[in-house]
Amino acid sequence: MDWLVISVLFGSFFVFLGIGVPISFAIGVSSLLTIMLSLPFDAAITVISQKMATGLDSFALLAIPFFILAGNIMNQGGIAMRLIEFAKILGGRLPGSLAHVNVIANMMFGAISGSAVASAAAVGGTMSPLQKKEGYDPSFSAAVNISSCPTGLLIPPSNTFIVYSLISGGTSIAALFLAGYIPGLMMGLGLMLVAGFIAKKRGYPIAPRASKAEVIRKTLEALPSLGLIIVIMGGIIAGIFTATEASAIAVVYTLMLAMVFYREVSIKQLPSIILESVLTTSIVMLLIGASMGMSWAMANADIPYMISDALMAVSDNPIIIILMINIILLVVGVFMDMTPALLIFTPIFLPIALDLGMDPVHFGIMMTFNLCIGICTPPVGSALFIGCSVAKVRINKVIRPLLPFYAVLILALMLVTFIPQLSLILPQTLLGY
């Protein structure tokens, strides 16, 4: 019966995905079929409906629509170009300067918008023509953009951490936000090292030195955008407001920035921006609700404990088990987008990690970092598709240039996995976590 439940749950889920059923419905229907193994249909449909409704009844989830709206306002607000100009000041004198600018701009824009796909489109769409003009190989430029756009999912504010907090049973969002800084910077710096090495080997140009007046002007133009991070994180650390309240403040801040300071967004554009945000939010919320039903189905059938026993049967060495979890998540990330993977596999692997003595914040950072790699990989990597589209490069042409970037990302993942203080030092120092 136990393995029958697992077979029905995951078998039906992957069959539905294979025939093109939207992932939210695939999760919901496979969960319903699993619950029906132990309950009659009317009781099963009642249970899954209740779990979907109660799963969305969370104050913390209010942060998601607000951060999505803030991100969409930024996308239309001319912020990307100003951050790119500022990134040129920071990375312009390094070998292959435009590659470094791409990485730095993705780190800043991704952190502000909270979206890897938006970052890949906004920054990549601007940088690709500039790099082509300077003689950069388009495949190399696309690889740099694709591999660096997920850095913003680790550098807060990040909707991914809010989703993880909910599914993990209330892990501190503030602690997760702070814990993401060092791993996110490690990811970006590692990619810059690889990009710099390749650029120097190929003789890509170094940008001319900017004048002092230009440095001051570009810095002042970018500071209001970067100020959002300071306002949000400063307020959360100081205890002035919660992460949910910070998301509403982010909307007000970005509206003032885009409409008053930069004057890139008009009142006529707001309805379309709000509608786009509503559509994105509804997709995410339906996914979260369906995943809550699946979490209950898995817990009711003791699936997490069965998988834990199976892993423990392979080895009782914590290092081996954590490595196995990472390998499984890397494979999952190849075939599944980040949010559903997080929602489905956190209830399975978090109890195992806790039994091994792993901190839930550290595990959340490790899992997010791992799945960030997945969105850069074929066949379903959203960042890969967007990055290739804006660079006008075929996917098969960009896979080989991506390999050294994949290698450094996996190396950084191993460091984050086995050195917990990389994730925990900031929450412990600033929050007393």
Q: What is the pLDDT of residues 261-274, one digit of tens each?
A: 888 888 898 999 99
Alpha helices by DSSP H, listed for 301-359, are: 303-314, 318-335, 338-355
- Nearest alpha carbon to residue 104 among 121, 80, 125: 80
- Nearest alpha carbon to residue 420 among 313, 318, 317: 318
Dmax (CA) of the chain = 74
Q: What is the dihedral of CA 338, 272, 102, 377, to 10 degrees?
A: 30
- Which residues lie closer than 8 Å to 279 by C-beta, 6 or more apart? none
For tokens 């307020």, the residue is 235
What's the Cα-to-Cα distance from 226 to each of 67, 187, 221, 343, rounded to whole Å?
Answer: 15, 19, 10, 30
- Nearest alpha carbon to residue 91 among 210, 173, 213: 210
Alpha helices by DSSP H, listed for 173-317, are: 173-179, 181-202, 212-238, 243-256, 270-300, 303-314
For tokens 């990009």, the residue is 195
Q: What is the pLDDT of residue 139?
A: 92
CA distance linking residue 106 with residue 98, whole number of Å: 12
- Nearest alpha carbon to residue 129 among 113, 141, 117: 141
Q: Which residues of the chain have pLDDT under 50?
A: none
To 10 degrees, what angle do helices 338-355 and 23-35 make? Answer: 50
Q: What is the pLDDT of residue 368?
A: 95
The answer to whether the Cα torsion of 321, 322, 327, 329 is positive or negative is: positive
CA distance linking residue 10 with residue 140, whole number of Å: 37
To 10 degrees, what angle do helices 360-374 and 159-167 make? Answer: 130
- Nearest alpha carbon to residue 342 among 311, 320, 319, 374: 374
- Nearest alpha carbon to residue 77 among 228, 279, 232, 210: 228
Q: How far is CA 8 from the centre of its chain?
A: 30
For tokens 């249970």, the residue is 47
CA distance linking residue 176 with residue 179, whole number of Å: 5
Q: What is the pLDDT of residue 2?
A: 66
How much is the pTM? 0.85
The pair of three-digit structure tokens given for residue 268, joined into one six-digit string: 């006529």
What's the Cα-to-Cα distance from 214 to each of 88, 94, 217, 220, 364, rounded to whole Å?
Answer: 11, 18, 5, 10, 41
